[in-house]
Amino acid sequence: MASKTDKKKRRDFSDSESENETLDKFASVNIKTEVKKRKDFSDSEEEQPAVLVQSKVASVKPSKQRRDFSDSEDEDEKTKKGTSRMMSGANRPPVRTGHWSMGLLDSMNNPDLQIYKDDRIVVIKDKYPKAKYHYLVLPRISIPSLKSLKSEHLELLKDIHKKGREITEKHKSSGLDFRLGYHCVPSMSHLHMHVISQDFNSPCLKTKKHWNSFTTQYFVGSKDIIEQLETTGRVNPPAAGRHAELLKTPLRCHVCRQAQTNMPKLKQHILQHIKSK
């Protein structure tokens, strides 16, 4: 029979085992709790960088937008300044004043060139004379060329011719011959009759084209134009179809028809005829 002491010992041991089991369970729970805390903390640390990145992106975007807006404002300012300079004329391209072939319209109103004007015609000195005396007689109304002439212009052409004859009379004492006429295909727009002395003594007479435009069929007499307009009601010079060929004609003296090899020799030769008068 077991003594009371042994029973007490076993009970104490059993109680001790229970306490140990309780302690073990408590420790186990504490360990699990700590592990869970560490895991939650770790997860929190992993999420935190993502939050920070998003925060940084959010903070960068407004800054970039502000910079883009600032750049846009700078471009707008530059555009305004450029427009302002152009409007003020700083960068304005040069204004085209028209084709050179329209130059006669300006010359008609140039007081330095005008020698006569009335309500129908204007007489000017040729800006680049091909002889000692070289004038242009022009109608005030718009007539681009010989082909634009109509029967209604007949009286006007006669007035132009008459004024040309008056000019030659004023230079009668010079002893020079004159011709009145038109180029069949003029280089300048607006009808004009040439009144030109036949000495051709001018530094502006430089090329074969200049010479042949006044000494071949390229130059049509004023009386011939008037006669054609009276007869047919229009003007179409026969030489117009071969005007380019006429301008390339070999050089010849318009007085004696002697051939010359170049313009300097031709001009020197012409002086002999002028001195003989």
- pLDDT at residue 173 tops 60: yes
**Which entry of 153, 190, 192, 243 is annotated as an active-site residue?**
192
- pLDDT tens per residue across span 115-150: 999 999 999 999 999 999 999 999 999 999 999 999
- pLDDT at residue 223 tops 60: yes
99 is catalytic: no
Taking the model in full, what pTM does it have?
0.64
What percentage of the chain reaches a pLDDT higher than 90? Answer: 54
Q: State the number of CA atoms in the 13 A half-sphere of 115 facing the CB.
A: 16
The two structure tokens encoding residue 79: 């555009």
- pLDDT tens per residue across span 37-80: 555 545 544 444 444 444 444 444 444 445 554 555 555 554 44
Mean pLDDT of 94-122: 79
